[in-house]
Amino acid sequence: MMKGIALMSLFSSMCKFLAFLVLARSRSSSAACILGVTACLFGIGAMQVKADGVLCKMRDYLGSYVPYHRYVEDVAVVGTTAYLANGTGGLQIIDVSDPASPRRLGFYNTIRSATAVTVVGTTAYVAAWNAGLEIIDVSNPASPTRLGRYNTPGLARNVTVSGTTAYIADDDGAIQLIDVSIPSSPTLLGSHDTPYGAYDIAVVGTIAYVACGVLQIFDVSDPSSPALLSSYQLTGSAKGVVVSGTTAYVANTGSDGLAVIDVSDPTEPVFLGSYNTPGFSYGITLVGTTVYVAAHWDGGLQIIDVSNPTSPALLGSYNTPDQALSVAVVGTTAYVADRYSGLQIINVSDPSPSALRGSYDTPGYARGLAIEGTIAYIADDWNGGLQIIDIEDPSSPSFLGSYNTPGDAMDVAVVGTVAYVADGDAGLLCLDVSDPTSPVRLGTARVYASRVVMVNTTAFVVSSSGARL
């Protein structure tokens, strides 16, 4: 899927969408956005419109930061500073003291793509893919400097630091234990093969827990010779792990997206319970008895109560614009590495499930949404055309009118009494909706249109050849 950039408006009611391009746009009275095939609506009761037409309330969105090199794989947060593993953009250091307006403090251009970051004090440890481990002094965020580097044999995917030892999840199917007591001269202590590529590592005392397709548990009391204690097979591929006390929480791609494992005897792990997250669970963090899971492929941020480990229960969720890969939580704020949508900042002070306000089942596939006053305009692909819905009473939305577009209605923008519909191969349609019960076509711009944003009297259209005006 091709990504690009479009326009941004700093209205407080604005949100972002991801489709063929990542776009941000504003409306005159509210904001609308596309999340894959999900349209979300802010303005009338903070509702969400999914592809089947269901309306529901969304969670608090505080802000976001999208770096120039858009792909964000990991995030670590210390105080009011976020450290982003930004792929080819290296290490990005962001001031998040004002979540609504994050700003870059500085960056470090890693040798290869930054895939993960851990920060201890004023030192950042970055897994830099085929460049291995890079150790960076971030005491002056405006001017980070490299202290040292260790080139692992494979592709460094993740890094955890315990004491003076860095544990590297290496994608060639091994864990690497590196002595970083002298940052300018890191040295190999030991390593151990894993059955698949290692994705994540958690270390508690002298025990290392490795998500490497399966969950493997190692005794690392002798770093020069890590000893495998056990392996535990999950329903899918283990991608992330956190440990608290004698319990391991594993993010994996199977039906038990979050698996809770008793590791009181590390030689005999015992399954306690699971929660089937949507999407593929990837990143994971734990705060008290709450687990936060970054579940990419439409799972977004999942917030799960594990106070009863045998029966984890969903507290709430937030469908991020792109694909959530990693999550860090400080206080009541979650920071999500959301791939091409950068850093997403989310208020999780009240993680309880949002209540359904109302719903309207459109005849087609709801892909785009615009709000004017108490009327919702829905681009309803698969023969639904433009659907016009009265949402004055959110608990009982009602049909006002429709227009059967000749193509595939993918997006809609409304200015005054004119609706602009991105209708795929049929072009950009201009419709008079002064009488919403009987829309009338005013004209058509002959260009393939998948997205449309209106700014004053100018239409910005996403076509197969990119953004057009």
Q: What is the CATH number of the domain that holds 387?
A: 2.130.10.10
Check residue 365 and give its pLDDT: 76
Residue range 221-237: mean pLDDT, rounded: 96
Q: Is residue 303 part of a domain?
A: yes
Region of poorest pLDDT, from 171-180, 206-215, 346-355, 457-466: 457-466
Q: Is residue 410 part of a domain?
A: yes
Which residue, 323, 347, 371, sits at the end of a domain?
347
Could you tell me which residues are beta bridge partners of residue 462?
A: 451, 467
Check residue 137 and give its pLDDT: 98
Q: Is residue 10 part of a domain?
A: no
Q: Is residue 1 part of a domain?
A: no
Check residue 441 and give its pLDDT: 97
* Residues 6+ positions from 245 with CB-CB distance below 8 Å: none
What would the pLDDT profile of 78-120 be if each residue is shown by its tens digit? 999 999 999 999 999 999 999 989 999 999 999 999 999 999 9
Q: Is residue 4 part of a domain?
A: no
Same-domain check for residues 148 and 290: yes
Place of tokens 């005897």: 265
Residue range 368-397: mean pLDDT, rounded: 86
Q: Is residue 385 part of a domain?
A: yes
Is 24 a residue whose pLDDT tops 60? no
- Inter-residue contact 13 to 42 (CB < 8 Å): yes
Is 446 a residue whose pLDDT tops 80? yes
Residue range 284-307: mean pLDDT, rounded: 94
Q: pLDDT grade, residue 455 (50/70/90)? A: low
Torsion of CA 173, 177, 178, 180, to 10 degrees: 130
Same-domain check for residues 325 and 441: no
Output the pTM of the full model. 0.69
Q: Is residue 224 part of a domain?
A: yes
Q: How far is CA 201 from the centre of its chain?
A: 20
Same-domain check for residues 341 and 362: no
Q: Is residue 3 part of a domain?
A: no
Residue range 301-306: mean pLDDT, rounded: 96
Give the Cα separation of 406 and 422 in Å (integer): 11
Which residue, 318, 347, 376, sits at the end of a domain?
347
Is 263 a residue whose pLDDT tops 80? yes
Same-domain check for residues 314 and 360: no
Same-domain check for residues 394 and 361: yes
Question: Residue 398's domain spans which residues?
Answer: 16-58+356-468
Q: pLDDT grade, residue 460 (50/70/90)? A: low
Check residue 340 and give its pLDDT: 82
Helix (H), strand (E) counts: the chain: 0, 46
The dihedral through the CA atoms of 4, 6, 11, 17 has a sign that is: negative
Check residue 358 and give its pLDDT: 62
Give the Cα separation of 100 and 106 in Å (integer): 19
Which residue, 347, 369, 389, sits at the end of a domain?
347
Same-domain check for residues 365 and 324: no
Same-domain check for residues 135 and 241: yes
Nearest to 455 by CA among 3, 14, 4: 14
